Amino acid sequence: MEISTLTMYHCLAFVWYFFVAYSITHVKTEERPSEVFLYGGQWKYLTVLNLFVFISFWTLYTYNRELVYPKSLDGVIPLWLNHAMHTAVLPFALLEIFALPHRYPAKKKGLILLGFVAFLYISWVLWIYSVTGEWVYPLFALFSPPGLAAFFASSLAIIFALYNFGEFLNRMIWGDSIVILDHKWKGK
């Protein structure tokens, strides 16, 4: 893909993310359920921090929407914004995979960095709970402490699996090619 096309695509993706984050801050404040956006604001939700949450959100939503997106939010967050946060991210992610090859760090380094970011987010969620007594996601209230630890561990395993799958797809689509400016080069 041409550099100008890639630049335009990445600018569009950034503007989309900024627009969605801006839109979230302007939902009808007088109609919000009391627990929404209190301590930690919108930044306590993984959706806002990292829009590529398509799989986990829609899986849990299909199982029991009250665990991740209570019906009380329907009158607060417009349907288009829900889909902007939880559905539109899939086409962006797929386009990113097919638009250009990505250089992954060494496996160990990549998984350590990913694990560190996951640890930071889990720490943030636990901190919010310790301060407010309310879980960021109602799903967490269903677990005992060992169950919650198991949930976090299994979530991390799924994240690692998705990381490895992304690396595999990148290799299957692009081989060992990397993009430097507008030229493709073969190599490590």
What domain count does the chain have? 1
Structure tokens at 2: 């041409």
Rounded-to-integer distance, Cα 34 and Cα 132, Å: 12
Q: Is 61 exposed, middle or buried, given 0-12, 13-18 or 19+ CB atoms closer than 10 A?
A: middle
pLDDT tens digit sequence for 54-69: 777 888 888 888 887 8
Stated pTM of the model: 0.68
pLDDT tens digit sequence for 8-55: 888 888 888 788 777 777 666 555 555 544 555 554 455 544 547 777
Structural domain of residue 151, as residue ranges?
A: 3-186
